Amino acid sequence: MPFVVISSIDGEMVEKYYTKTSGATVDIKFQITELGTKQAPQVASFSSRGPSAVSPWTLKPDILAPGVNVLAAWAPNRGTMPIGDKFSYLLSDYVLVSGRSMSSPHAVGVAALLKSAHPDWSSAAIKSAMMTTADVIDNMNGEIIDMAIGMPATPLDFGAGHLNPNKALDPGLIYDIEAEDYINYLCALNYTSQQIKVITRRSNYRCDHASLDLNYPSFIVILNNTNTAKYVFKRLLTNVADSQSIYRATIWAPSGMKVVVEPMTLTFGRKYSKAEFTMKVEIGLKGYRNESDYLGNYGYLSWYEVDGKHVVRSPVVSAFAPQYPEL
């Protein structure tokens, strides 16, 4: 409906004005953007949550992007809001819309800009740049809040964090993924040969190196019903900065999560040089009565550039896998 929303405090001022003023008038100004709203960003109640039901071995969601009350382009000559009786509608080329369908264009638009700036980057490199530079604190220097419960959110709610386009332009390092890596992942997921052929559009592939450990910019340990869970991740980082660099690992892990990275220092001799590392994660489940009693736990692995500006951060999450359909 065509109306204006104001705060209760402003509403009291307006009510006092028009009840005491003869010939009261009002002036409404349009197309004014209000910046610096506190507390932001937040995870919307309708936002997708992890772990993935079909592929729990890759942390989902990947990232958080704006999706609440977005002024979006709308199909012309199509009613957007009812006016008066049910047969009258407001027509507009734009409409305020909320949903994951609004956050997706933000992420895709940033990806397109990154591809324009770095034409040689793969889709996986672009995703890595967006994820490892995302923000995990809000504009009040606090934890990102989940609007659904009013409490701090976790990477199972916001993934690697809130999208930061400027930082993504210059990530320092990226986790790249080749087509063969995806095929090995499909093999490990027990996709049939016919399904893999449909997805990859190729028949000359092999499943000799099937693996659930993609070279992904985030980490998730899927738990079982034992007292401890262990997993060893192997990753390959690529330097996309114009000069040589050295990075040191910093680990933040909560109680009940043990993380060991080897080596702790990576050296890159030039642009596009690569370096490998392994990360061992051990989760202790002692004290939890059952699966539903464990709400998940998370930490972060960050690679800090020595005498440089780049920080490459990845969430490390533990969770029980939801029930997922047979493939």
Question: Of 84 and 64, which is predicted with more confidence?
Answer: 64
Token pair recorded at residue 182: 């995806």
pLDDT digits 0-9 by tens, 66-81: 999 898 888 888 887 7
**Nearest residue to 155 (alpha-carbon basis) of 82, 75, 60:** 60
pLDDT of residue 327: 42
Confidence of residue 289 (pLDDT cuts 50, 70, 90): low
**Nearest residue to 172 (alpha-carbon basis) of 114, 226, 128:** 128
Distance CA 21, CA 25 (A): 9
Strand partners, 187: none
Confidence of residue 102 (pLDDT cuts 50, 70, 90): very high
Specify the pairing of strand 257-262 against strand 228-239. unpaired
pLDDT of residue 160: 98
pLDDT of residue 2: 66
Confidence of residue 61 (pLDDT cuts 50, 70, 90): very high
Structural domain boundaries in the chain: 42-177+214-320, 178-213
Beta strands (DSSP E) in the chain are: 42-43, 70-73, 79-82, 89-91, 94-97, 145-146, 151-152, 173-174, 219-223, 228-239, 245-252, 257-262, 265-268, 274-284, 297-305, 311-320
User: What are the two backbone dihedrals, phi and then psi, of residue 100, each rounded to the nearest 5 degrees?
Assistant: -65, -25
pLDDT digits 0-9 by tens, 7-35: 899 999 999 999 999 999 988 887 777 78
Q: What is the mean pLDDT of residues 85-104?
A: 86
Is pLDDT at 326 greater than 70 in this prediction? no
User: What are the two backbone dihedrals, phi and then psi, of residue 67, each rounded to the nearest 5 degrees?
Assistant: -155, 10
pLDDT digits 0-9 by tens, 154-202: 999 999 999 999 999 999 999 999 999 999 999 999 999 999 999 999 8
301 Cβ partners below 8 Å, 6+ apart?
Answer: 219, 249, 250, 251, 259, 261, 279, 313, 314, 316
Query: Under a CB-based contact definition with an 8 Å cutoff, are residues 170 and 72 in contact?
Result: no
State the chain's mean pLDDT as an integer.
91
Return the half-sphere exposure (C-beta side, CA atoms, 13 A cut-off) of residue 262.
6
Q: What is the mean pLDDT of residues 246-261?
A: 96
20 Cβ partners below 8 Å, 6+ apart?
Answer: none
Q: Is the backbone of residue 306 left (phi > 0), alpha (psi -120 to 50) or beta?
A: beta
Q: What angle do CA 237, 311, 110 make, to 5 degrees?
A: 80
Distance CA 2, CA 81 (A): 8
The CATH T-level fold of domain 42-177+214-320 is Immunoglobulin-like (2.60.40)
Distance CA 219, CA 175 (A): 12
Is pLDDT at 118 greater than 90 in this prediction? yes
Query: Under a CB-based contact definition with an 8 Å cutoff, are residues 172 and 75 in contact?
Result: no
Q: What is the mean pLDDT of residues 245-255?
A: 96
